[in-house]
């Protein structure tokens, strides 16, 4: 449905779109940071993170047994908390996003290394752990959007400004 440019609804739509463009990436960055900080912080306390066992097993396999058990969990917890702090406060974003992407590579590996733990029916029916992993597609996408702003990129709500700039 197209609004008449003079209507109150059209004007409200423009205002809302501009507000979302102005604050959306910041909210996205902070929300990803909260998720990382929260999930990482839980890993410091035995029994609070539902991902503990799978994380330990995965790190053990990926490091060929060099990093095991509680050490692996504390490293992962610290890594995730650092990503969370970087995203929440918008500091060292390039480095933070690099750590996030590298961590995501490790996070996805249980789908391939331990498919019986990640799926009830391979590859269509994810377990709770599998769902926990698959949702990271959204986090990676969010990090890409945030990463697009580290050199000053921004969302623009006014298509006319874009047309003027490139014509």
Cβ(126)–Cβ(120) under 8 Å?
yes
Q: Is 137 inside any structural domain?
A: yes
Q: Is 9 inside any structural domain?
A: no
Q: Nearest to residue 42, comparing CAs of 32, 27, 52?
A: 52
Whether the predicted pLDDT of 161 surpasses 80: no
Cβ(99)–Cβ(32) under 8 Å?
no
Backbone angles phi, psi at 132, to 5 degrees: -60, -40
Whether the predicted pLDDT of 159 surpasses 80: no
Q: Nearest to residue 107, comparing CAs of 78, 143, 139?
A: 139
Q: What range defines the domain where residue 120 resides?
A: 34-152
Q: Is 25 inside any structural domain?
A: no
125, β-bridge pairs? 121
Cβ(96)–Cβ(88) under 8 Å?
no
Distance, CA of 87 to CA of 71 (rounded, Å)? 24
Task: Report pLDDT digits (tens) over 112-147.
Answer: 999 999 999 999 999 999 999 999 999 999 999 999
Q: Is 85 inside any structural domain?
A: yes
pLDDT score recorded for residue 160: 72
Q: How many domains does the chain have?
A: 1
Using the 8-state DSSP alphabet, how is residue 125 labeled?
A: E
Distance, CA of 15 to CA of 137 (rounded, Å)? 30
Distance, CA of 158 to CA of 33 (rounded, Å)? 28
Q: Is 55 inside any structural domain?
A: yes
121, β-bridge pairs? 125
Task: Report pLDDT digits (tens) over 10-58.
Answer: 888 888 999 999 999 999 999 999 999 999 999 999 899 888 999 999 9
Q: Is 147 inside any structural domain?
A: yes
Q: SS3 for 50?
A: coil
């Amino acid at each position: 449905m197209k609004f008449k440019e003079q209507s109150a609804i059209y004007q409200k739509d423009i205002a809302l779109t501009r507000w979302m463009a102005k604050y959306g990436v910041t909210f996205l960055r902070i929300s990803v940071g909260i998720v990382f900080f929260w999930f990482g912080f839980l890993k410091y306390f035995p029994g609070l993170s539902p991902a503990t066992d799978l994380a330990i097993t995965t790190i053990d396999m990926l490091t060929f047994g060099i990093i095991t058990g509680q050490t692996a969990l504390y490293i992962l917890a610290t890594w995730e908390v650092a990503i969370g702090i970087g995203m929440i406060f918008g500091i060292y974003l390039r480095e933070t996003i690099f750590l996030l992407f590298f961590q995501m590579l490790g996070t996805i590996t249980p789908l391939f290394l331990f498919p019986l733990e990640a799926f009830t029916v391979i590859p269509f029916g994810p377990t709770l752990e599998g769902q926990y992993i698959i949702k990271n597609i959204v986090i990676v996408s969010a990090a890409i959007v945030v990463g697009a702003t580290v050199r000053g990129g921004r969302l623009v709500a006014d298509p006319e400004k874009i047309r003027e700039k490139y014509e």
